[in-house]
Structure 1
Amino acid sequence: MSSCCSGNTSSSTLACPQCGISSKNISMKTIFHQVKFPDVLELETDRYYYCTDESCSVGYFSQDGKSIAKNQLRAFTELNNNKLCYCFDISTEQYVNALKQGGAAIIKDFVIQKTKVGDCACAIRSPSGQCCLANFKLLEKVFFVGN
């Protein structure tokens, strides 16, 4: 697997100052690739955390009280559209439809194969900076329990 999906990343957590959800820290590389221009020019290097709460307006925040709103992120539209895989532009809706029609394995196998050869870019494409493969498994679990 590529380094983003190897699971060798160390992370700490901090509660989001707006919603209180426990949030993992992410790399500055992710932030520099996610924050829109010209806001990216104002960024200061710090230890930032990503808030995963869909209803929270905070995207990233630091221990020092700095915050970056989700609407300042390049992936803001994708966040609102529930993107499953940012690297290969796969939405949750597309994958659920594929699960219903029996074609999900092709999609998941494609993502796994591309990840294995290092063709993914999770660290810069995904707002969380994390690999999406676990999200496929979670979605499958929810789908198969409900059906």
Structure 2
Amino acid sequence: MCGISCKDVENKTLCHQVRFPENYELSSEKYYFCPSKECTVGYFSSTGHIIPKQRLRTYQEINDDKLCYCFDINADQYLSALHANNSDAVKSFVIQKTKSGDCACDIKNPSGQCCLAKFKILERLGAR
């Protein structure tokens, strides 16, 4: 609805993110997550089924600019670490936990994606 490019998500991401009873009634069609904070659509299918962000378990975290859903790090915290020259420790922690299999991005992150790419985006923004 907002016109930005969206990635598809696995069914298990959808089932863990969508609140009951909507998660109970999901069809097996392919769904896509809209990452735009301004958009009210959380997930949508190619057939037009829409699940609003307000129906997601992570609705408040999305509004709070959650960066890492697995380890509860938001964008402001990481930007503060960047400005305090402490970002390497934060990012290394997430990388180490990801490598050891201690993350659950596929169900905790509404996009189903790993957050490490978002760290790089914030690093570029913070360097400005």
TM superposition score category, shorter chain reference: over 0.9
Cα shift at 1:20 = 1.7
After the TM superposition, which parts of structure 1 deviate over 4 Å for at least 4 consecutive aligned residues? none
What's the counterpart of residue 36 of structure 2?
53
CA distance in 2 between partners of 1:23 and 1:94 (Å): 26
- How far has the Cα of 1:38 moved from its partner? 2.2
Please give the TM-score of this superposition, normalised by the length of structure 2. 0.97
The CA distance in 2 between the partners of 1:24 and 1:130, in whole Å, is: 9
Tell whether 2:78 aligns with 1:82. Answer: no
- Aligned residue among 90, 113, 122 for 2:96: 113
| Alignment counterpart, residue 65 of structure 1, candidates 48, 68, 90 | 48
TM-score, length-scaled by structure 1: 0.85
SS of the residue 1:22 aligns to:
coil
Identity over the aligned pairs, expressed in percent?
53
Secondary structure in structure 1 of the residue aligned to 2:36: coil
One-letter amino acid of the counterpart of residue 119, structure 2: F
SS at match of 1:45: coil
CA distances 1:46-74 after superposition (whole Å, capped 9, x unpaired): 10011111111001000111110000000
What is aligned with 2:24? Answer: 41
- How large is the RMSD of aligned CA atoms in angstroms? 0.8
Unaligned runs of 5+ in 1: 1-17
* Consecutive unaligned residues in structure 2, runs of 5 or more: none
Name the counterpart of 1:102. Answer: 85
Pairs aligned (count): 128
Question: Aligned partners of 1:126, 1:69: CA distance in 2, in Å?
Answer: 16
- Looking at structure 1, the residues matched to 23 and 8 of structure 2 have their Cα atoms a distance apart, in angstroms, of 18
What's the CA shift for 1:88?
A: 0.3
